[in-house]
Amino acid sequence: MNKPSQPRAVQMLMRADGALTYLIALPPEDLPPVRPRDLAAAWDAARAAATAEAWGAPRFFRFRRPDDSVTDLALADPDASCWAAAVDGTVGLASALGMSLCLRLLGLVDLLATAPWAKTFVSLRRDGAEIDPALLRAAATLPLTRDARLDEISVQAIVAHARLAPPSPGVPISGAAP
């Protein structure tokens, strides 16, 4: 017996001007969490793409809500288009997971650009960046907002809680072997 086919979560259309439009069958807040290591890898891929000046095409996203209303997002900024193209070139944006990874990367970059407290959790160097594991985990796992962003207050609460939590039993604080 054949199973009825599920509609694809993400459909991509290329416009005549080269811009890409993504039709996503669910709202941003329903996109799945990603693994922190995948978000870190996306950061590295985006950094490499920016260094190579691989700017990418403008991208437009239309998220369909259960009530048939939509949330639209446009990435016309060359940097954001570059980062989205880097994610598209590595894991792809044709799945809910790839779309989630892209939006979380963009959300993390936006958070670092707009939230002064967040900058203390990232060490930027010429050869890359070191992102605090708690910040990376929060960006990877917290639900996105209705407008496809990270909720600054929720991220800050998770990071603050992680900083206050005692170390796990059996894990040396100094890094020295027991």
Dump pLDDT digits (tens) for 23-62: 999 999 999 999 999 999 999 999 999 989 888 889 999 9
**Residue 153 CB-density burial (10 A; 0-12 exposed, 13-18 middle, 19+ buried):** exposed
Asked if residue 3 is part of any domain, the answer here is no
Asked if residue 108 is part of any domain, the answer here is yes
* Residues in CB range of 138: below 8 A, 6 or more apart: 150, 154, 155, 158, 159, 162
Asked if residue 5 is part of any domain, the answer here is no
Q: What is the pLDDT of residue 169?
A: 53
Asked if residue 1 is part of any domain, the answer here is no
Could you give the number of structural domains in the chain? 1
Strand pairing class (20-24; 10-14): antiparallel
State which amino acid sits at residue 14. M
Look at residues 84, 37, 36, 34 and name the one whose alpha carbon lies nearest to residue 57. Answer: 84
pLDDT in tens, 52-70: 988 888 999 999 999 999 9
Asked if residue 114 is part of any domain, the answer here is yes
Asked if residue 80 is part of any domain, the answer here is yes
φ, ψ of residue 135 to 5 degrees: the values are -65, -45
Q: How far apart are the two ends of the chain, measured CA to CA in Å?
A: 59
Asked if residue 119 is part of any domain, the answer here is yes
d(CA 64, CA 44): 30
Residue-range definition of the domain harbouring residue 124: 10-164
Asked if residue 148 is part of any domain, the answer here is yes
Q: What is the pLDDT of residue 172?
A: 42
Question: For residues 10 and 77, is the Cβ–Cβ distance under 8 A?
Answer: no
**pLDDT less than 50: residues of the chain:** 1-6, 170-178
